[in-house]
Amino acid sequence: MERVVLIGEIGVNHNGDIDLAKRLIDVAVLADLDYVKFQKRTINLVYTEEELNKYRESPWGTTNREQKEGLEFDKEEYDVIDEYCKEKNIGWFASPWDIESVEFLNQYRPKYMKVASACLTDQSLLDKMRGTTADFIVSTGMSTKAELDRALSIIGNRTRYILACTSTYPAFDAEMNLNFIKTLEEQYPAYKIGFSNHSPGIQYSIVSAGLGAKMIEFHITMNRAMYGSDQAASIETGGVMALSKHVRNLELAMGTGDWTVFESEEKVKKSLRRFI
């Protein structure tokens, strides 16, 4: 079984605090994850003025605009993230939510950009992403096959992974639909198939690896009780460590599938086997 790519989705769980972001990166490094992931938005492009002016209490004020701006990292913070990840020898990338964010992220020459489920049908965004140097990961939450096929017709030649996903936070057990991983494998053999988890538990991510997921993305947090819309769908430090350990052990345990009598079984065979 090939190594499963594990991604710790920090997203906006840093709550606009670069020190908290670095602590989450440290968790990902300790757990032997391959990447951490963020989200990048240009607030005035992603949200309407009406939406930004709506009342919303948050640690940053009483409007949506204050909340969104409070959560957003800019170049100063991303420069720190880029340098810190290089220092810690872990990769990072992000989901851009608008064309300016695509340009912003591309200056760091990331290996990947992620097409978030919410952005799968944004043709102008996909067109812009196609002009970057990155390869793409596509999430399928909330999407029909026709919508995915249209997105792949725009960026498919640079898409490396398609992730099975249910876009609820947290996702209900009955709506995880883990067998969708197998469906995607059958219908999209040209791509590697993975799983984007929105359950606060670790079990479904581990099962997804057993079902053949080549990449697993899951939200990470220091504390699920912290402020933020994604915290309840996130996994805390102990869970991140356990998830990674179980997946890495599973990679060994799945084996080749060949009919095998292991060398370690030979002594047992001599002791226990009965011959007629």
Q: What is the pLDDT of residues 176-219, one digit of tens each?
A: 999 999 999 999 999 999 999 999 899 999 999 999 999 999 99
Mean pLDDT of 135-160: 97
In terms of pTM, does the model score above 0.85? yes
Average pLDDT, the chain: 96
What confidence score (pLDDT) does residue 270 get? 87
Place of tokens 């690896």: 209
Percentage of the residues of the chain whose pLDDT score is greater than 90: 94
User: Cis (ω within 30 of 0) for the bond into 170?
Assistant: yes
Q: What residue ranges define each of the domains in the chain, with the CATH number in brackets? A: 5-272 (3.20.20.70)
Q: How far apart are CA 78 and CA 98, in angstroms?
A: 17
Angle between helices 18-30 and 237-254 (to 10 degrees): 30
What confidence score (pLDDT) does residue 276 get? 53
Q: How far apart are CA 206 and CA 244, in angstroms?
A: 8
Confidence band for 18, pLDDT divided at 50, 70 and 90: very high
Contact 227, 58 (CB under 8 A): yes
Q: What is the pLDDT of residues 71-82, one digit of tens each?
A: 999 999 999 999
Mean pLDDT of 109-123: 97
Is residue 275 scored above 80 in pLDDT? no
> Would you call 38 helix, strand, or coil by DSSP?
strand
What confidence score (pLDDT) does residue 156 get? 86
Q: Where are the beta strands (DSSP E) in the chain?
A: 5-11, 35-40, 55-58, 61-63, 91-96, 112-115, 135-139, 159-165, 192-197, 215-219
Mean pLDDT of 117-136: 97
- 40 phi and psi angles, rounded to 5 deg: -125, 125
